[in-house]
Structure 1
Amino acid sequence: MASGSYGFRSTEIIVNADDGFYSDIRDRGIVSCLSTVDRGVSDVSVLMNGAVAKSLLSCPHHKRPQMSSLFSHISRNRHIPGLHFNLTEGKPLSNTKFVRSLLNDHSYFLGKHGFRRKLVFSGIHMNEVEVELESQINAFRDVFGTIPSHFDGHQHVHVLPGIDLVVARVISRLGIKWIRVPIEYIPETSCCITESEINFYREVSDQAMKAKEIFSSYSLKYTQKFIGMALMGKNQTMESLDQSLSSFEDCKNVEFMVHPGYRTIKHTNESNNLEGCGDPDGPDLFSQSSDREHEMFFLTSDEFKGYLMVHNYELLKFSDLS
């Protein structure tokens, strides 16, 4: 059980919503979780090649709050989010001729599994990963006027072999201090997690164990514990949450990765660019799933907030951590 449960001291918990700027409808759900009244999420990381980010980058600064519910909320609260580094979904921000190894024949990223397959066969050029990483950080700076408060990866791309070193070298040089290390106990079976998902989460955890050493060598910081992969969608229940958190002994801080929001709707091809990361088929099945709304309602529930209070968890942002 977390030490906070015994009342000796509170345990810091960062509940971080991934996929900010994917679409405004997803963002409106994230904002409802970040709001003062229903606050169940304390931080957010944003996709700079997401549809909302691209809209923000293309309009004057003074009009940006009108373009995005999430940007408006962040600006009002002087909140600096994290960067959700993306190498697997949609289009790059860099000129495609400089990142050819990251793309398919149609100049889109290769997908979660396609990218990993090409990486295994040494087909990904690390200098091109660095080019795209710097493009996404520069876009973040354009929108927010500063560097991200923390760093994580879309589909955990930042802990992949070789990518981890590029990320560590670049973000440490720029002064980004906090990074996600997704090491998590994954149960043998679950009614809500498929066998392929279990295998993927275990692979991510194994890769994160190795990436952790690289991140430490560059003096990057990360929370003591991480949960979220085994708690996605319908598996995000009070029972599952308690099983995960109660297994931690004397835990100072923990990151809880979540994916809340109003689900996206499949549009005609003409309007697909309004949501997602630029894929021709529009928003993906993950964003269209009712799981997004399940998480949103769970995180804003009195039961969840009551659990954190009873067990003495202190809800913080990454920028609050020392």
Structure 2
Amino acid sequence: MPQPRVMLVVTGDDFGYCPRRNQGIVDCFQAGGVSNVSLLVNACAAKEAADLAKRHSIPIGLHANLSEGLPVSRPAFTLTDQHGFLRGKMGFRQALERGQLSMKQVELELRAQVRLFWELTGHAPLHMDGHQHVHVLPGGHMTRVRDVFAQVLSDHQIPFTRVPVEPGLHSCPALPAHLRKFYAQVEQDALDSVAVFRRHGIRWPDVYLGLTTMGQNMSVPNLQRALGHALAAGPPPSSGPRRPAVTAELMVHPGYPSRAQEGGCGDGPDDFSRSADRQRELSVLCDPALLALYGREGVRLCAFKDL
């Protein structure tokens, strides 16, 4: 087999969100569309997802969740609203800016989720990232979310995380203004996290992809564009005769749309999960034209454990 130009981890996020998401991700894995999954341990179908990963030998990591549904550790007063639910993607960020979150409770919740992952799967996470990119957030006077996250990874010897800095993000014409603004902040938070993760010996692929190809923006041409950026942003030539392959992660959310009142992390499925975008991603990722593109461009799908 020729040397690949790109070693690509295609990670199906939100595994465990609902039975239809689980089935879609398994179908996508079996068709060669994803190579790795990220488990929401506080989701309603997490146990089923862990069993499916075991049955089908799907490489699985932890999608640490500080923003959606019910926390694993209770009580977690500063992390939750008056109804006991985590504060949501923007609510978590707003509480962080106001200094209302206890970093000790952040740490306790992350460690509780790692323990639950062990209980569900029988092994440590092969990688760990943050649902809605919470793992790169700042906050606190002395300790930040990213510092707590990095320490938990280091303590549990989880070698890989995600650094969501996507080449081509700012030149993507398909993103509406509100998403462009949010992704720009995610990118800045991620850049600010690099030194923290390096200090703890945590690794991540050379290139991250996925913000510009989510949902209705996913298509074979858009994925080809993203892969072009990955190849252009590859490692410098090695001193030896062979140039090393670029390593990259593509974040995806395939599945079948959640049914009303079925799924979520304790408070029901959100609009994103109930939309047709899930099935669109599933269809594109399994499209023979995309798999043929991988072959032509020298892209080999793999898991974090293969990097």
Q: Do these two structures clear the TM 0.5 threshold for a shared fold by scoring above it?
A: yes
Question: For 1:107-126, what aligned pairs fall within 5 Å after superposition?
Answer: 107-126=84-103
Q: Which residue of 2 aligns with 1:275?
A: 263
CA distance in 2, matches of 1:237, 1:128: 40
In 2, Cα distance between the equivalents of 1:238 and 1:181?
24
What is the number of equivalent residue pairs in this alignment?
A: 288
Spell out, residue by residue over 1:118-140, the C-alpha distance to the aligned partner (whole angstroms, 9 max, x if none): 10111111000001001111100
The superposition leaves residues 68-90 of structure 1 with CA deviations (integer Å, 9 ceiling, x where unpaired) of 2x434321244441100001111
Match of 2:61 in 1: 82
Shift of 1:190: 3.0
Which AA in structure 1 matches 2:97?
V
Q: What is residue 315 of structure 1 aligned with on the other side?
A: 301
Give yes or no for the alignment of 1:138 onto 2:115.
yes
RMSD of aligned residue pairs (Cα, Å): 1.4
1:112-261 correspondence runs (5 A): 112-161=89-138, 162-185=144-167, 186-188=169-171, 190-191=173-174, 193-247=175-229, 248-249=231-232, 250-251=234-235, 252-261=246-255
Q: Which whole-Å CA distance do the structure 1 matches of 2:114 and 2:59 have between them?
A: 13
Residue in 1 aligned with 2:292?
A: 306
Residues 188 and 196 of structure 1, relative CA distance in 2, 3 Å threshold: farther
Match of 2:274 among 288, 294, 308: 288
Q: Distance in 1 between matches of 2:77 and 2:264?
A: 21
Change (3 A) 1:74 1:237: same
Distance 1:8 1:49, change over 3 A: closer
Pairing partner for 1:30 from 25, 33, 36:
25
Percent identity between the aligned chains? 35
Q: Distance in 1 between matches of 2:132 and 2:4?
A: 33
Alpha-carbon distance, 1:93 to partner: 0.7
CA distance in 2, matches of 1:169, 1:27: 30
Query: 2: distance between equivalents of 1:197 and 1:144?
Result: 34
Q: CA deviation at 1:188?
A: 4.8
Q: In structure 2, the residue corresponding to 1:183 is in which secondary structure?
A: coil
CA distance in 2: counterparts of 1:71 and 1:306, whole angstroms? 30
Letter of the structure 2 residue corresponding to residue 236 of structure 1? M
Kept in 1, the 8 Å contact 2:51–2:121? The answer is: no
For residues 199 and 62 of structure 2, the distance between their equivalents in structure 1, rounded to whole angstroms, comes to 21
The answer as to whether partners of 2:136 and 2:189 remain within 8 angstroms in 1 is yes
The gaps in structure 1 that reach 5 residues or longer are 1-6, 57-67, 267-271
- Read off the aligned partner of 1:299 and give its amino acid letter: L
| Code of the aligned partner of 1:312 | G
Per-residue CA deviations over 1:103-160 (Å, capped at 9, x if unaligned) read 1111111111111011011111100000100111110000111110001111000000
Instruction: Describe the SS at the equivalent of 1:187.
Output: helix
Shift of 1:32: 0.5
2:242 aligned partner: none
* Misfit runs of 4+, over 2 Å: 7-10, 70-73, 76-80, 187-191, 247-251
Partners in 1 of 2:57 and 2:16 — Cα distance? 17
Query: TM-score, normalised on structure 1?
Result: 0.86
Gaps of 5+ in 2: 139-143, 236-245
| AA of the residue aligned to 2:278 | R
| Aligned: 1:95 with 2:74 | yes
Counterpart of 2:141 in structure 1 is none
> What letter matches 2:170 in structure 1?
P
Deviates more, 1:241-250 or 1:86-95: 241-250
Q: TM-score, normalised by structure 2?
A: 0.90
Q: Decide whether the 8 Å contact of 2:7 with 2:248 is kept in 1.
A: yes
Contact 2:129 2:161 survives alignment (8 Å):
yes
Assess if the C-alpha contact under 8 Å between 1:80 and 1:144 holds in 2: no
CA contact (8 A) 1:227 1:254 kept: yes
- Provide the C-alpha distance between the structure 2 equivalents of 1:194 and 1:121, rounded to a whole number of angstroms: 27
Alignment correspondent of 1:11: 6
